[in-house]
Structure 1
Amino acid sequence: MKFQELGARLQSCWAVVLFVLVFSPVSNSSAQTSQTYRIVHTYPHDQQAFTQGLFYADGHLYESTGKEGRSSLREEDLETGRILRMQLVSDKYFAEGLTDWKNTLVQLTWQSHIAFVYDRSTFRLLRTFSYNGEGWGLTHDAKSLILSDGTATLRFFDPETFHETRRITVEDNGKPVKELNELEYIHGEIYANIWHADRIARISPATGRVVGWIDLKGLMPRSQLTDDEAVLNGIAYDGGHDRLFVTGKLWPKIFEITLVPAKAKFVPVKHTQ
């Protein structure tokens, strides 16, 4: 083969390789997704509720509200916002995250290092357990309670013994994501509010890596809020009907939203009360 022909073939091969590298779509399982929202419905919410924990089960919302002297555990009707049942928490505690486990409810406290375990059907206190650090948000997967404490760390606990089994550090492109707040476990991911931020992180429970962000900017107009601490905090998911609900501390509304790609054109949906 002549040198000129060999050189031409090599040049052609490199051209093909370069085209593939530059123009071909790359499959990258580590790529993040960026999403925003469309409002499906709005529902009334007690604007005096300092929402610290929220989840949906069997047709009702369960909510933990904070502040010393105002903390409570509640069962609520989603459609009307009516409080169906309420258990006040002792004035010395600042209640925080809330989740269910089997037939019980587990409620954290902020700086008291104690959690309350209630019978879900009666709200009767069954027992307490202690943990180190602060308590912020709480959710669970199939075998563990998952706790946030205001840092970039999420801790996993055995729901029966309440012993810590493992922990992960939440990172976005290698940088710790701090002030993780209210949590919800959805489709194999941990959704986390970021305190004082209008966005939710979607977190891999295996690695702690942020796999996506949900931008909720503009969801609740500031003109309808009366407190600087009335920030986004509260995620609930209805797995039976694939409905996602979000709210905030001292917000007058709960929003049912659907997630859309961040670059999707926004189409307003009529709010319903």
Structure 2
Amino acid sequence: MRIKPTLFWIVTICLLALAAPAAAQTCPCAEPPPVIEQLVPEVIASFPHDSGSFTQGLLLHDGTFYESAGEYGNSDVRQVTIETGEVIRQVDLNEQIFAEGLTLVDDHLIQLSWRENIAIVWDLATFELLGRYLYETEGWGICYDGEQIYMSDGSSNLFVRDPQTFRLLAMLPVTQNGVPVRNLNELECVGDHVYANVWQANTIVRVQKTTGYVDAVIDASNLVNQEPSVLTELSPMATAMAQSATPQPGVMLTPSRAVLNGIAYNPDSDTYYLTGKLWSTVYEVRLVPAGS
């Protein structure tokens, strides 16, 4: 049987597409942007936090916090008692590694590094070093939703990764009313959303995992304004970056090292634990409509 040339090429292209390894895709969005909810944190309780911890990642598991602290020479991974802030156990990192976000996948923790392009894998029960993953971007925030890993690099994109291999599966551009939201930092996966701290800002954005659209902005200025370190940890670099940054909708910039950073969700109470870099407090909050 003779196959027509046009049909031959169609069949060939289809077969090649099926045989080729799947490349990372940018998630398409045909839906219109949603109406954005304006939320604020309503404080339920507050707990002591190590004000020497440059918090880069925070998660809740079995009634305790797991935290990643950053900065060169001060980076570590630690387990912390919620009520007292006492460190239960801690492993210090090599002084040439700047630790970043932290997430839990099954029975192990994955801790990002800023510019070292490695994700460190720790045994949850023992804090034994299990291995490393490599990646090409900077590492900022990370969370796991039970199926996929979401990672940020300080840009306006989230990177979707395989939890077992760390292979890049897709890239999700994050926009608010059509405008890219830059400086996405620490992440928390909750249901159909990823919550993201916006670096140098008093805000957290709630991002739809399927579209990348921001559908809620949480203004946490009431927490930021309570933290003395926000004023004492001012730095020339942070001030210059805040002053030179292009304004983003609904974003108030914080010219301080002690920025809002750290989100941990408690599904049992439907509450969130929020803190910041070098903060003395972790706040347990509910997210409520602004002005309520």
Provide the C-alpha distance between the structure 2 equivalents of 1:110 and 1:54, rounded to a whole number of angstroms.
Answer: 16
Q: Which of 57, 81, 91 is the matching residue for 2:95?
A: 91
Q: What is the letter of the counterpart of residue 134 of structure 1? A: E
Q: Which residue of 2 aligns with 1:255?
A: 283
Deviates more, 1:226-235 or 1:91-100: 226-235
SS at match of 2:224: coil
Q: Does 1:112 align with 2:140?
A: no
Per-residue deviation, residues 196-215 of structure 1 (Å, max 9, x unmatched): 11010000011100011011
1:246 aligns with 2:246: no
Distance 2:210 2:73 in 1: 38
Instruction: Name the aligned partner's letter for residue 243 of structure 1.
Output: T
Q: Aligned with 1:219: secondary structure?
A: helix
What is the deviation of 1:162? 1.1
Q: State the AA in 2 paired with 1:148.
A: S
- Matching of residues 219-234 of structure 1 within 5 Å: 219-221=223-225, 224-225=228-229, 226-228=232-234, 229-234=257-262
Q: What residue in structure 2 maps to residue 268 of structure 1?
A: none
- The total of aligned residue pairs comes to 237
Structure 2 CA distance for aligned equivalents of residues 82 and 223 of structure 1:
20
| Percent identity of paired positions between Structure 1 and Structure 2 | 41
Q: What is the CA–CA distance in structure 1 between the aligned matches of 2:105 and 2:39, rounded to whole Å?
A: 30
Residue 51 in structure 1 maps to residue 66 in structure 2: no
Partner of 2:207: 203
Q: Which residue of structure 2 lines up, in the alignment, with residue 124 of structure 1?
A: 128
Q: What CA RMSD, in Å, does the superposition of the two structures yield over aligned residues? A: 1.3
Gaps of 5+ in 2: 1-31, 235-256
What's the CA shift for 1:30? 1.9
- Alpha carbons of structure 1 residues 223 and 171: separation in structure 2 relative to 1, 3 Å: closer
Q: What displacement does 1:241 show?
A: 2.6
Amino acid at match of 2:281: K
TM-score (norm 1): 0.85
Choose from 144, 151, 164 the match for 2:148. 144
Alignment partners' CA distance in 1, 2:64 and 2:184: 25
Shift of residue 240, structure 1, vs aligned partner: 2.3
Conservation of the 8 A alpha-carbon contact between 2:143 and 2:187 = yes
1:64 paired residue number: 68
Pick from 172, 175, 179: which aligns with 1:175?
179
For residue 262 of structure 1, report the CA deviation from its aligned partner: 0.8
Counterparts of 1:69 and 1:139, CA distance in 2: 25
Decide whether the 8 Å contact of 2:174 with 2:180 is kept in 1. yes
Deviations 1:54-107 (A, max 9, x none): 010100000000001000000000000000010101101000000000000000
- Residue 166 of structure 2 is aligned to residue 162 of structure 1: yes
Question: CA–CA distance in 1 between the matches of 2:226 and 2:123?
Answer: 37
- Find the counterpart in structure 1 of residue 6 from structure 2: none
- Match of 1:162, SS state, is coil
How far off is 1:230 after superposition? Answer: 0.4
Are residues 1:237 and 2:265 paired? yes
Structure 1 unaligned regions, length at least 5: 1-27, 265-273
Q: Say whether 1:218 aligns with 2:215.
A: no
* CA positional deviation for 1:38: 1.3
Q: Distance in 2 between matches of 1:53 and 1:37?
A: 19
| Residue 192, structure 1, aligned to residue 196, structure 2 | yes
Paired residue type of 1:163: R
